[in-house]
Amino acid sequence: MRFEQYKIATELKRALDEMGFKKPTDIQYKAIRPILEGNDVLGVAQTGTGKTAAFAIPVLHKLMYVKNRPDKRQTKCLVMVPTRELALQIAKVFRELGKYTKLKITALVGGVEQEHQIEQLANGTDVLIATPGRMFDLLHQQKLDLNKTEILVLDEADLMLDYGFIKDIQDVIKFLPDYRQTLFFSATINSEIKEIAYGIVRNPIRIQISPQDPVSKNITHFVAFIEMDDKRFFLERLVVEHPESKILIFVRTKVRAERVAAAMERVKVKTLTMHSGKDQSERAEIMKAFASGEVRLLITTDLNARGVDIPNVDYVVNYDLPDEAENYVHRVGRTGRGVAKGTAYSFCAPEEKEMLKEIESYLGKPIHVLEIDKETYADTVVFTDEVNNDNWQVLLRNAEQEAAERKTKKKKR
């Protein structure tokens, strides 16, 4: 069924059309109706499957037709999320979808002045998307009133758990009316998440999309066995053979990110790097350039593995395997988002085979092997027209830096 045929406001249909959303994703197909009917919903679907619109569409529709409008300062729907980036991203989706409605959308996050936020709240807000810190702050100052908030959305519940926000979920309930609709969304589910979820929902409709595979069906993913030192040639080949594609490359460390970038630069391939060494404003610039497609290669550490939605990534490359099996799922989930298809390649060196086993056991199945015959392998390694101007000092310095980084990492654990 297409969105055109849905029993939702034409204002929403118009926005959906402009956004290029023609038909619902699986989770949207299953969640929209029960939410419209007023049920609590417990939705589990892999990352990138369109969970945001799965709740935003029916929530906006319902709010358009609220009969007894409470005091305008009383927020009607609260969406609680773990990070600032997610809050802003979700607010953006609500605003796009709600463009032709009169509903007011407010993001409430830390790290910015309170004054403007307090003003916005006083002017009235229909949907509030908040991170816990600032929200509780304003609740305690009585600048925020959730007494008439009849819809509570907990999004990215698994991330909430990782960030240690469990108590906040339990606490926020105390500020909401008993009679409410609760929508609980998560990319993964385990017994701990289940326990929390069942503590706050009532007779929920449970929706789980392909629980046996944590990777979305829109993503085809392969592993290729490549020696550590040859990886850059294979990356170069992929880049050169797909001149139009947007490629997100994951490496293990900050030093590796810069080194891969340097190797690409030597063969005249323009890249961006993203890691803990970049400050907040640099990060925003980098993400903007990559999102817009101005630069189509981004080399990053796991900093970018979770949650954040980057449009139209064609390929994810695990240049290095992740240190934690779960991150594999988050990384490959940066492609194949919504109804798009995506491909992920993992470059596995002999010393990473143990990690590969861990990932496969986490996935519950082996990853397809991309067989590279000897000839292709040899061709790829000479494929490059790079002038080898590495000198030993640079190599040694890199090796030392990396060893030092590994040491501090171990100490931290």
Give the footprint of ligand ADP on this chain (CB under 6 A).
Answer: 21, 24-25, 28, 45, 47-53, 309, 311, 337-339
- In whole angstroms, how close is the CB of 50 to Mg ion at the nearest point? 8
Nearest-angstrom CA–CA distance, 351 and 252? 14
Q: Select from ligand ADP, Mg ion, none the partner in contact with residue 272, using the beta carbon and a kind-dependent cut-off of 5 to 8 Å.
A: none
Q: Select from Mg ion, ligand ADP, none the partner in contact with residue 117, using the beta carbon and a kind-dependent cut-off of 5 to 8 Å.
A: none
- In the bound state, the residue with its beta carbon closest to ligand ADP is 338
Residues 6+ positions from 240 with CB-CB distance below 8 Å: 269, 383
Q: Select from ligand ADP, Mg ion, none the partner in contact with residue 336, using the beta carbon and a kind-dependent cut-off of 5 to 8 Å.
A: none
Nearest-angstrom CA–CA distance, 237 and 246? 14
- In whole angstroms, how close is the CB of 363 to ligand ADP at the nearest point? 18
HSE-CB of 90 using CA atoms within 13 angstroms: 34
DSSP 191-217: HHHHHHHHHH-SSPEEEES-TT-SS-T
Other beta carbons less than 10 A from residue 210's beta carbon: 14
State which residue, 12 or 257, has the beta carbon closest to ligand ADP: 12
Q: Select from Mg ion, ligand ADP, none the partner in contact with residue 277, using the beta carbon and a kind-dependent cut-off of 5 to 8 Å.
A: none
- In whole angstroms, how close is the CB of 385 to ligand ADP at the nearest point? 37
Please tell me what DSSP assigns to residue 293. Answer: T
Binder of Mg ion out of 6, 28, 40, 51 (CB under 5 A)? 51
- In whole angstroms, how close is the CB of 24 to ligand ADP at the nearest point? 5
Q: Select from ligand ADP, Mg ion, none the partner in contact with residue 337, using the beta carbon and a kind-dependent cut-off of 5 to 8 Å.
A: ligand ADP
Please tell me what DSSP assigns to residue 277. Answer: T
| Nearest to 183, CA basis, from 6, 81, 28, 39 | 39
Q: Select from Mg ion, ligand ADP, none the partner in contact with residue 48, using the beta carbon and a kind-dependent cut-off of 5 to 8 Å.
A: ligand ADP
- In whole angstroms, how close is the CB of 309 to Mg ion at the nearest point? 7
Tokens read off for 308:
């954040």
Tokens read off for 8:
């939702």
Q: Which residues bind Mg ion (CB under 5 A)?
A: 51
